[in-house]
C-alpha cells in the first residue's frame, strides 16, 4: 500500500499501548529486511533516514525505492526523517514524500526549540498533514556519579514538556530518560527513568518516542570480536526495558545500532568462512536475512506484531 502518514499509525498504538519500531536504513538490503519483516509479522513499520543516510544514498533514490517496495506489501509503512536539524532538512523531506519528520531542536534553549518545532509543524501539517516528532531534553546515560540535580537538568522535564507541546504543536515527543545513541549506553547497571515516561504520558497523552533503544546483543558483539572486530564495553537495553517503557507510554522505539551490529557480525563471519567467494550477494543476502529476523524479534517485543 502507499506510504502511510505516521500519525495515523500512532492512533492505534497510543490507544492500545504498544510501540512501532523505527528501523534506520541507507541501502536496499536494510529496507528489504524491515519491509519483509513487517509483512511477515503483519506489523506496521517505520523506516527512517538520517541526513547522513540521505547524503549516502540520494534522496530521490531512497524515496522511490521505499515507495515502490511499500506499494507491493499490505503492512503499513511510514517513511520518517531521523534527527532533522533545521527547516531545510524538514522541507527537503516533506517535499520529497516522507510521511513523518523529526525536528531535533533539543540542543537549543527551550524557546528556540519551541520556535523551530512550531515552524516545522506549520510546514509539515500544511503539506499533506505530515507528522512531526520533536525532542526535549538531552539524551545520555545516567551515570552513577551524576547527582540528582545534574541528572534532572538533562532529562525531559514533565512541566516543560507540557509547555513545549502546547506552544509547538508537535505530534510526538522524543523524551530523554537515560538512553543514548550507539553501542555504549551504560557503564554499569542499565538505568532508565521509567517513572518519568509515565508522568509525561499522563500529562500529554501524545505518542512518546524512545531514542537510543538498541539492545546491543551480546552474541553479535561476540561474533564481531571472534572474527577480527574490536568492540569492547558495549552495552544496551535489556528486553524488559522495552516492556517497561511501553507500559508507561512509549509508542515508537528507535533502533539502528542493533541492525548494524548484526549485519557486521554476519558479514565478518562469512568473509572469514568463505575466502574464495566474491559475489556480493552471497554476503549481503545472508546479512539481510539475519537483520530481518532481528527486526521480527523486535516487532514481537514491541507489541506491534499482528497490529497491521
Ligand atoms: O540517531 C542516529 C542514527 O543512528 C543515525 O545515525 O547519522 O550515522 O545515519 P547516522
Ligand atoms: P540506537 O543507536 O540505540 O540504535 O538508536 C538509534 C536512534 O535513536 C535513531 O534515532
Ligand atoms: Zn535518535
Helix extents (H) in the chain? 6-16, 28-41, 51-57, 59-71, 87-96, 110-126, 148-154, 158-168, 194-204, 218-226, 239-247, 257-273, 280-302
82 is catalytic: yes
- Give the least confident one: 20-29, 47-56, 146-155: 146-155
* Pair 70, 45: CB distance under 8 Å: no
pLDDT at 143: 67
pLDDT at 144: 63
Closest atom of ligand 1 to CA, residue 211: 1
User: Best mutation site among 24, 175, 179, 250 for ligand 2, i.e. most ligand atoms within 8 A of its Cβ?
Assistant: 24
Whether domain 6-302 has CATH 3.40.50.920: the reply is no
Task: Report pTM.
Answer: 0.97
- Expressed in angstroms and rounded, the spacing between residue 128 Cα and the centre of ligand 3 is 24
User: Best mutation site among 100, 186, 214 for ligand 2, i.e. most ligand atoms within 8 A of its Cβ?
Assistant: 214
> Is residue 15's pLDDT more than 80?
yes
Domain ranges of the chain: 6-302
pLDDT at 219: 96
Catalytic residue, chosen from 82, 193, 256, 258, is 82
pLDDT at 190: 78
Closest alpha carbon to 216 in 254, 258, 262, 181: 258
Query: What is the rounded average pLDDT of the residues 49-60?
Result: 98
Distance (Å, rounded) from C-alpha 190 to C-alpha 92? 37
Does ligand 2 have an atom closer than 6 angstroms to the CB of 106? no
Closest alpha carbon to 216 in 236, 233, 191, 241: 236
- Expressed in angstroms and rounded, the spacing between residue 212 Cα and the centre of ligand 3 is 6
Distance (Å, rounded) from C-alpha 214 to C-alpha 255? 5
Using CB distances shorter than 6 Å, the residues near ligand 1 are: 24, 50, 52-53, 82-83, 181, 256
Distance (Å, rounded) from C-alpha 194 to C-alpha 200? 10
pLDDT tier at 145, thresholds 50, 70, 90: low
> Is residue 290's pLDDT more than 90?
yes
pLDDT tier at 142, thresholds 50, 70, 90: low
Query: What is the rounded average pLDDT of the residues 259-271?
Result: 98
- Give the least confident one: 186-195, 201-210, 264-273, 286-295: 186-195
- State the chain's mean pLDDT as an integer: 96
pLDDT at 61: 98
Closest alpha carbon to 247 in 185, 303, 308: 303
Who's near 215: CB < 8 A, 6+ residues apart?
236, 237, 238, 239, 258
> Is residue 141's pLDDT more than 90?
no
Q: Is 151 exposed, middle or buried (0-12, 13-18, 19+ CB in 10 A)?
A: middle
- Number of other CB atoms surrounding residue 217 within 10 Å: 18
User: Best mutation site among 26, 53, 263 for ligand 1, i.e. most ligand atoms within 8 A of its Cβ?
Assistant: 53
Nearest C-alpha to atom 8 of ligand 1 is from which residue?
Answer: 52
Closest atom of ligand 2 to CA, residue 24: 9
pLDDT tier at 187, thresholds 50, 70, 90: confident
Amino acid at each position: 500500500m502507499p506510504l502511510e502518514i505516521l500519525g495515523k499509525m500512532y492512533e492505534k498504538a497510543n490507544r492500545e499501548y504498544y510501540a512501532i519500531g523505527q528501523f534506520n536504513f541507507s541501502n536496499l538490503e536494510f529496507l528489504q529486511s524491515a519491509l519483509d519483516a513487517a509483512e511477515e509479522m503483519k506489523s506496521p513499520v517505520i523506516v527512517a533516514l538520517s541526513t547522513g543516510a540521505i547524503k549516502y544514498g540520494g534522496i530521490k533514490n531512497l524515496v522511490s525505492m521505499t515507495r515502490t517496495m511499500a506499494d507491493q506489501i499490505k503492512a503499513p509503512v511510514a517513511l520518517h526523517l531521523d534527527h532533522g536539524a533545521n527547516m531545510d532538512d524538514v522541507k527537503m523531506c516533506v517535499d520529497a514524500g516522507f510521511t513523518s519528520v523529526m525536528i531535533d531542536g533539543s540542543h537549543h534553549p527551550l524557546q528556540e526549540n519551541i520556535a523551530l518545532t512550531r515552524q516545522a509543524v506549520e510546514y509539515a501539517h500544511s503539506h499533506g498533514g505530515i507528522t512531526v516528532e520533536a525532542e526535549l531534553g538531552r539524551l545520555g546515560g545516567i551515570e552513577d556519579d551524576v547527582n540528582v540535580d545534574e541528572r534532572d537538568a538533562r532529562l525531559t522535564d514533565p512541566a516543560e514538556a507540557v509547555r513545549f507541546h502546547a506552544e509547538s504543536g508537535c505530534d510526538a515527543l522524543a523524551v530523554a530518560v537515560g538512553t543514548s545513541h550507539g553501542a555504549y549506553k551504560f557503564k554499569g547497571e542499565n538505568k532508565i527513568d521509567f517513572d518519568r515516561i509515565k508522568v509525561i504520558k499522563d500529562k500529554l497523552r501524545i505518542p512518546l518516542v524512545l531514542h537510543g533503544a538498541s539492545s546491543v546483543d551480546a552474541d553479535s558483539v561476540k561474533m564481531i570480536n571472534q572474527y577480527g572486530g574490536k568492540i569492547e564495553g558495549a552495552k544496551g537495553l535489556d528486553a524488559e526495558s522495552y516492556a517497561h517503557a511501553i507500559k508507561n507510554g512509549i509508542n515508537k522505539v528507535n533502533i539502528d545500532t542493533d541492525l548494524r551490529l548484526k549485519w557486521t557480525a554476519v558479514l565478518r563471519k562469512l568473509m572469514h568462512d568463505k575466502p574464495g567467494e566474491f559475489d556480493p550477494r552471497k554476503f549481503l543476502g545472508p546479512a539481510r536475512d539475519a537483520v530481518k529476523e532481528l527486526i521480527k524479534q523486535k516487532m514481537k517485543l514491541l507489541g506491534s506484531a499482528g497490529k497491521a
